[in-house]
Amino acid sequence: MTTKAIRGTQDILPGQVEIWQRVEESARRTFALYGFQEMRTPIFEHTAVFLKTTGESTDIVQKQMYRFTDMGGNDLTLRPEGTPPVIRAYLEHQLGQGRSIERYYYIGPMFRYERPQQGRYRQFHQIGVEVLGTESAHLDAEVIEMVMRWLRDLGVRDLRLLINTVADEPSRVAYRKALVRAQAGHLDELCSDCHRRHRENPLRVFDCKVDTCQPVIAQLPSIHDYLSDTSASHFERLREVLGSWGMDYEIDPRMVRGLDYYRETVFEITSGALGAQDSLVGGGRYDGLVAQMGGREVPGVGFAAGIERIVLAMGGQPEATAADVFVVAFDDSTVSAVHTIVHQLRAAGVRALCAAYDGRSKKAQGSAARRSRAPWQLVVGPDEVQSDRYTLRRLADDRRLECSGEALVSTALSLANEPAANPTGSESRNDG
Ligand code: AMP
């Protein structure tokens, strides 16, 4: 039997998963402030949903799709990214009526056949948003401001915001000609993938990571010399709004992002806390995509953030605890009292655990208590039951609190709500 997970996939175990939950809850909370609602689409779609949208010349479609034929002969693909499925659903359910502006977010796994390394996986998870129905550069700025705020709230360090434009169609026609000309003179210095990109979509040469191609790429013309008035003013407006909100950003004139549907604004957020795979968020505007998928001309803008990389960039987080209070039976005579106390604590909203099952010794229960990382312990012996006096003990510093049976639940509840007692576990309760 195979006992290992597939290369490039990971199990997210208790201890880690609480950090993931924190990232997700914080996204839900922040995005709700800006009027976003969640959309959940299937993790696989007809392959056609991605071919023309993500783009046939992109690395994703060329090399990275988990594409298969099912028993019914359907050509299907595990979603490599979230935008085309959201638009497919938007069209299928006729969600955009009149001039409405729709705001969605999604959270879930994506699949790309990549070379796995730290921060790069074959199954990874994205939190993304899409805004459909306006071409205003103000919205580009809004989603950028929202994602920066979310990452800062999470405590992600060393954030850097890079913006650029990939312009509108007329600018791109002119720019493409200039690129083809510039690349043609250096084909012998470019890799075979770049030759293909040069033929199919010369803009994609900027996606190349091969070292020997970089000197040529650095010499290619800049799109900023080919901007139409519309594209120049869209970019200018974005900069104005970001500037008026006091947001720091850098312009990276060579950033094109690896997806074909981007128009006008593109952006990326990186973190210095990461290694080589330092991109946390990628996004941009995709006017034209909805029409290309068979809908009306509905402009859109969005981004996708990688959860694995956000968790990495957040650095060491306190290990989560499985309980606030661990209740230990001193001997067999107090097992049922322990179960009653645990039951009452849970009913009052205290995360309570015990291991008084199958005749486990006090010592075995004590090691289960340590493994649970519960900050407080309550040992129930015949004396406690007899006198109806109980002592809650904090393991970290041996702080002790004695109370009557009647006050036990309320005492434990107030301890569980002390932030210092349980940094990860109690956060959601305090903030929620
Ligand atoms: P993209 O969808 O390629 O624009 O990527 C958006 C974000 O998703 C990136 O900035 C990463 O945080 C994350 N991401 C993309 N591909 C991977 C991958 N193979 N493994 C982990 N995270 C990824």
Fold annotation for 17-168+238-314 = BirA Bifunctional Protein; domain 2 (3.30.930)
Q: Whole-angstrom Cα distance, residue 179 to residue 184?
A: 8
Ligand 1 nearest-atom number relative to CA 81: 2
Closest residue by Cα to residue 36 from 103, 89, 102: 103
Consecutive H or E run containing 171:
helix 169-184
CB-ligand 1 contact for 8 (6 Å cutoff): no
Cα–ligand 1 centroid distance for 80 (angstroms): 10
Q: Which of 137, 129, 149 is nearest to 247 (CA)?
A: 149
**pLDDT single digits (tens) 162-216:** 999 999 999 999 999 999 999 999 999 999 999 999 998 898 899 898 999 999 9
Q: How far is CA 1 from CA 5, 7, 10, 205, in A?
A: 12, 16, 18, 43
Joined together, the tokens standing for residue 423 give: 């940094």
pLDDT digits (tens, 9 = 90+) for 48-81: 999 988 888 788 888 999 999 999 999 999 999 9
- Helix/strand/coil (H, E, C) string of 125-165? EEEEEEEECCCCHHHHHHHHHHHHHHHHHCCCCCEEEEEEE
Q: Which residues pair with 124 in a beta bridge?
A: 110
In the structure encoding, which two tokens stand for residue 347, read together? 């009913």
* CATH 3.40.50.800 domain residues, the chain: 325-430
Residue 428 has pLDDT above 50, yes or no: no
The pLDDT confidence band at residue 115, using thresholds 50, 70 and 90, is very high
pTM: 0.88
Q: Ligand 1: which of 279, 281, 307, 308 to mutate, most ligand atoms within 8 Å of CB? A: 279
Listed in order, the ranges of the chain carrying CATH 3.30.930.10 are 17-168+238-314
- For residue 176, give both structure tokens: 């493409």
Ligand 1 and 213: CB distance under 6 A: no
307 pocket-lining for ligand 1 (C-beta < 6 Å): no
The conformation of residue 273, written as its DSSP 8-state character, comes to T
pLDDT at 332 over 60: yes
Summarize pLDDT for 298-316 with one digit per residue, the tens: 999 999 999 999 999 998 7
Residue that wins the pLDDT comparison between 417 and 394 = 394
The residue whose CA is least distant from atom 15 of ligand 1 is: 306
Cβ of 164 below 6 Å from ligand 1: no
Q: At what angle do helices 335-347 and 405-416 cross, to 10 degrees?
A: 50
Q: Which residue type does 220 have?
A: L
> Would you call 107 helix, strand, or coil by DSSP?
strand
The atom of ligand 1 lying closest to the CA of 310 is 12
In short, whether 283's Cβ falls inside 6 Å of ligand 1 is no
Ligand 1: atom nearest CA of 269 is: 10
- Give the DSSP letter string of 207-228: G---GGGHHHHHHSPPGGGS--
Give the number of other Cβ atoms within 10 Å of residue 68's Cβ: 12
- Report whether pLDDT(30) > 70: yes
DSSP class of residue 324 equals S
Measured distance CA(377)–CA(328) in Å, rounded: 7
Distance CA 348, CA 412 (A): 9
Predicted confidence at residue 21, as pLDDT, reads 96
Residue 107 is which amino acid?
Answer: I
Can you tell me which atom of ligand 1 is nearest the CA of 309?
A: 12
156 lines ligand 1 (CB under 6 A): no
Distance from the CA of 309 to the center of ligand 1, in angstroms?
A: 8
Residue 403 predicted with pLDDT over 90: yes
* Residues 325-430, CATH architecture: 3-Layer(aba) Sandwich (3.40)
Size of the chain in residues: 432
% residues pLDDT > 90 (the chain):
83
* Alpha-carbon radius of gyration of the chain: 27
pLDDT, tens digit (0-9, with 9 covering 90-100), for 339-369: 999 999 999 999 999 999 999 999 999 999 9
